[in-house]
Structure 1
């Protein structure tokens, strides 16, 4: 599942870093903390490895 925005990719990268022990879990906030709790390492890797070119800074909410 590719990231829909640069912000989502960045949050997934932070959560992935915490999963792998490179960052403290207590340092995570917001979306990255939620992703850490609800996703496995493979899912986070898929989101974090998405190409950034052409992605918006933030995804728009669809109604």
Structure 2
């Protein structure tokens, strides 16, 4: 199985929120940080990936956060 990207963005606060929810739900994730260290929050993004088996549930959780 492959990993599915469930989120990409530049907000480190949003990423932390999503990671906490995934952890609380027992969903394992991988984080890929493509932020430029010299210009954090301006250039680049942080991506979160989950397994294909957890993707549907994880996407629903991320949508819930986005709709707040």
Higher Cα radius of gyration: 2
More strand by share: 2
More helix by share: 1
Q: TM-score, normalised by structure 2?
A: 0.28
Q: TM-score, normalised by structure 1?
A: 0.30
